[in-house]
Structure 1
Amino acid sequence: MKMSLLKGLAALLLLPASLSAQSGKNALRNFPAGATPEEIGRKVAARFIATPHTNFGRPFPPRVITYPETCTWYGALTFAQVTGNTPLRQQLANRFEPLFGARDTLIPIPDHVDYTVFGSVPLELYLQTKEDRYLRLGKHIADKQWGPPEGKRVVPASHRFYSQGYTWQTRLWIDDMFMITAVQSQATRATGDRSYIDRAANEMILYLDSLQQPNGLFYHAPSAPFFWGRGNGWMAAGMAELLRSVPKDNPNRPRILQAYRHMMASLLKYQSVDGMWHQLVDDPNSWKETSCTGMFAFAMITGVKNGWLDAKTYGPAARKAWLSLITYLDENADIRNVCEGTNMKNDHQYYLDRKRLTGDLHGQAPLLWCATALLR
């Protein structure tokens, strides 16, 4: 992206609200040249197509498809669908084709939330192509998540959660609430069977009761009382994905919608004047982080488009986030200031010290989600 464009976008962010942001849903339309969701989505999707299977920055290929790749693949597919880009969809299907053959070992065993989310990709491919082989694979993965505990990852808590009607893969890390809801929502969209999304909604209540704090934000885990940016981003995006498809007569929907709105209202208070959010959401001295900013923007865009959020309040906030976010893209369509893959730790400094990566798929994926959401 040329420097002149970046300077122009930066100038837009500094204009008074009455001049820089249109009211309501119109704030999410009519972006300047070089900043439209169509242009950004095409560039980021093309970058993904050209990128080999990634392995969390390691110099060798992964043993199985990683969850950041899954999330980016899913985002690219939804962008292809909403833009009617058949060639892009075919390229994304071609990327999958070896997994039905000699490279089937790259398909993750669905025994952990980070692996099971992979099912969202074949389910999206089924929705777009109607090829049964995608449905069979995706449904198998979604079903395994609520099947009986099995495999080397089973721990005593697995049996306890399973006996209570939750997935045995429950960890009570906020990351889970995208990983679980994405694949289960997709299974309902692909099959029409609401049992998938109903059980995901019930699981969401467990996480809300366990991790959401009075300020609307979420601890990373019960033993990690920090408002980590991307962790909260996973939760925001997960609630948005769930609410897009959970039936209106689901008894858990009002509680989820209330929690989502509470979180969005809190995020407004912590958004920087330039539209970004921070590595630790409530710490303005922590660095500005792009993956969480993209995820929060996606959640707000989705809320405005579906009427869950006040458009005059959240439309301009989401627009500002998008316009700021894309200034972090380089000439290769790689986004910088992406927090590296992060485990849970009871240490404030641990989160501050995480490496800032460029082009990491944790950051590329939310760009595609936002582009899709802006065009829906």
Structure 2
Amino acid sequence: MYNRILSMLIALITCQVLFAQHKELAGFSKGFTPNEVGKRLAYHFVDNKHEFYDRYIHYAEVCTWNGALDYAVRAKDNKLIKLLVDKFEPLFSYEKELLPPMNHVDYNMFGSLAFKLYEITKDERYKKIGLAYADSQWELPQNAKRIEKSWADKGFSWQTRLWIDDMYMITVVQGEAYKVTGDRKYIDRAAKEMVLYLDELQRGNGLFYHAPDVPYYWGRGDGWMAVGMPNLLRMLPTDHKDRPRIMEGYLKMMQSLKQYQRPNGMWNQLIDESDFWVETSGSAMFTYGFIIGVQEGWLKASEYAPAAKKAWLAMIRYIDSRNNVTEVCIGTGKKNDKQHYHDRPRNAGDFHGQAPYLWCSAALLEE
């Protein structure tokens, strides 16, 4: 009886603490509430045409679609949910050729969208598509290159390439597969990959190189880690062997990001370069990392909630009258050249920016 009462008290205290932490991330004025912002961007996405990577659905569109779905579910907007589901339906038939091939991290992450739609609709067609994308990341093709075989022999995905982008691209589809199936192999795959990338790319200051041979802290590149780690930590069983290592990497990164946050609340295109321009997609991803950490109790609310709110308020000012996020760095491959990152063009409405804004909107609506 005593142990039962003690457990109940601990649970009650935990709920009170989490409620207080969520309250720290509320109280936004009109025009800045997550519901308003999410609605603007999600309905704008519905009206957009597909964006292509070669001739296939672009991964940035998938990220935005995922964000719009998360927002719609949290906002309990059934009309929006239906519109987002209907947007996918042609991909089962006359738009089927737009489905990405299963031969690259950027393509395979499409499976995450199918899994999210399955969770909402329970339509087995989505689950079948999602599993094909998730499983093919670990199924070595016959024409695999030597380096791809090497990664597979070590138990990693043959699509491993040690670009920081991968720690959203790989972990999102494997994590969603775990949520849908309950099969531990999927979460084990995601965690194993994450530890590899932490060991190879995270530097002493908590930030990440774009790749081992590119020693620059590119905003959106680091953003993929800032989103991938907390999302994975939320799914990892508490007793998972890799959880402490991933939590260590996450906390180290968040501490560093807090130090590099600009006075205006944002972060720069190269995080540690004060004379570089403010970039919105990376800033939104870092804000998301703060939000989740505060909500889960991993980050001290008194320190990180004000930083998250400051960033959120700054972010919204970069949305134009057409509901396009501005100052978004276009898709950027790795290059060992500082000027390369400085000179990247900036787009308004680029899905790379629309997506993390929606992720933040959905996260701030969590109860």
| TM-score normalised per structure 2 | 0.93
TM-score, structure 1 normalization: 0.91
- Which residue pairs with 1:351 in the alignment? 341
Q: Does 1:361 align with 2:351?
A: yes
Deviations 1:208-249 (A, max 9, x none): 000000000000001101000000001111111111101111
User: In angstroms, what is the RMSD of aligned CA positions?
Assistant: 1.1
**Pair 1:26-2:16 in alignment:** no
- Cα separation, 1, equivalents of 2:145 and 2:338: 28
Contact 2:57 2:100 in 1 (8 A): yes
Query: Conserved in 2, the CA contact under 8 Å of 1:217 and 1:227?
Result: yes
Which amino acid in structure 1 is aligned with residue 81 of structure 2?
R
Post-superposition offset of 1:339: 0.3
SS of the residue corresponding to residue 218 of structure 1 reads coil
Q: Deviations over 1:60-108 (max 9, x none)?
A: xx51101100100011111111111111111111110001001111111
State whether structure 2 residue 110 is matched by structure 1 residue 82. no
Aligned match of 1:126: 118
Partner of 1:313: 303
CA displacement, residues 19-75 of structure 1 (integer Å, 9 cap, x when unaligned): xxxx9543310110010000000000011001100137xxxxx51101100100011
Gaps of 5+ in 2: 1-19
Show the counterpart of 1:263: 253
Structure 2 counterpart of 1:254, which letter? P
Letter in 2 for 1:140: A
SS at match of 2:52: coil
Q: What residue in structure 2 maps to residue 221 of structure 1? A: 211
Pick from 176, 192, 195 the counterpart of residue 182 of structure 2. 192
Relative to structure 1, the CA distance from residue 102 to residue 279 in structure 2 (aligned partners, 3 Å threshold; closer, same or farther) is same
Measured against aligned partners, the alpha-carbon deviations of 1:171-193 in whole angstroms (never above 9, x if no partner) come to 00000000001111111111111
Q: Which runs of at least 4 in structure 1 moved beyond 6 Å after TM superposition?
A: none
**Following the alignment from structure 1 to structure 2, what is the Cα–Cα distance between the partners of residues 169 and 128?**
29
Q: 1:304 aligns with which of 290, 294, 298?
A: 294
Aligned counterparts, 1:54-69, within 5 A:
54-55=51-52, 63-69=55-61
- The equivalent residue for 1:137 is 129
Residue in 2 that maps onto 1:335:
325
* Matches of 2:311 and 2:261, distance apart in 1: 9
1:253 corresponds to: 243
User: Secondary structure at 2:160's aligned position in 1?
Assistant: coil
> Percent identity, aligned pairs only?
50
Selected match of 1:102 from 94, 119, 130: 94
- Which residue in the other structure is 2:281 paired with? 291
Q: Deviations over 1:230-273 (max 9, x none)?
A: 00001111111111101111100010001000000000000011
> Contact (CA 8 Å) 1:293, 1:321: kept in 2 or not?
yes
Which residue of 2 is the match for residue 202 of structure 1?
A: 192
Q: Which amino acid aligns with 1:74?
A: N
1:155 CA displacement: 2.4
Q: CA deviation at 1:197?
A: 1.1
1:9 counterpart residue number: none
AA matched with 1:29: A
In structure 2, the CA distance between the partners of 1:291 and 1:231, relative to structure 1 (3 Å rule), is same
Which piece of structure 1 moves more, 169-178 or 83-92?
83-92
Q: 1:260 is aligned with what amino acid?
A: Y
Distance 1:250 1:109 in 2: 32
Partner secondary structure for residue 328 of structure 1? coil
Matches within 5 A, 1:169-180: 169-180=159-170
**Residues 252 and 324 (structure 1 numbering): CA distance in 2 closer, same or farther, change over 3 Å?**
same
* Partners of 2:21 and 2:297 within 8 A in 1: no
Q: What are the Cα deviations for residues 114-136 of structure 1, in whole angstroms up to 9, with x where unaligned?
A: 00110010100001111111111
Greater shift, 141-150 or 84-93, is seen at 141-150
- Given that 1:25 and 1:312 are in contact with CA atoms closer than 8 Å, whether structure 2 keeps it comes out as no
Q: Residue in 1 aligned with 2:6?
A: none
- 8 Å CA contact 1:149, 1:159 repeated in 2: no
- CA distance in 1: counterparts of 2:303 and 2:132, whole angstroms: 41
Q: What is the match of residue 220 of structure 2?
A: 230
Amino acid at match of 1:286: F
How far off its partner does 1:150 sit? 4.4
Alpha-carbon contact 2:162-2:211 (below 8 Å) kept: yes
Query: 1:92 matched to which residue of 2?
Result: 84
Mapped contact 1:303–1:309 kept (Cα < 8 A): yes
State whether residues 79 and 372 of structure 1, in contact with CA within 8 Å, keep that contact through their aligned partners in structure 2.
yes
In the alignment, is the contact (CA less than 8 A) between 2:266 and 2:283 conserved in 1?
A: yes
Match of 2:151 among 161, 174, 189: 161
1:300 partner amino acid: F
Does residue 52 (structure 1) correspond to residue 52 (structure 2)? The answer is: no
Q: How many residues align?
A: 347
Aligned to 1:8: none
The whole-number CA distance in structure 1 between the counterparts of 2:131 and 2:198 is 26
Query: Do the aligned residues in 2 keep the contact of 1:24 with 1:313 (CA within 8 Å)?
Result: no
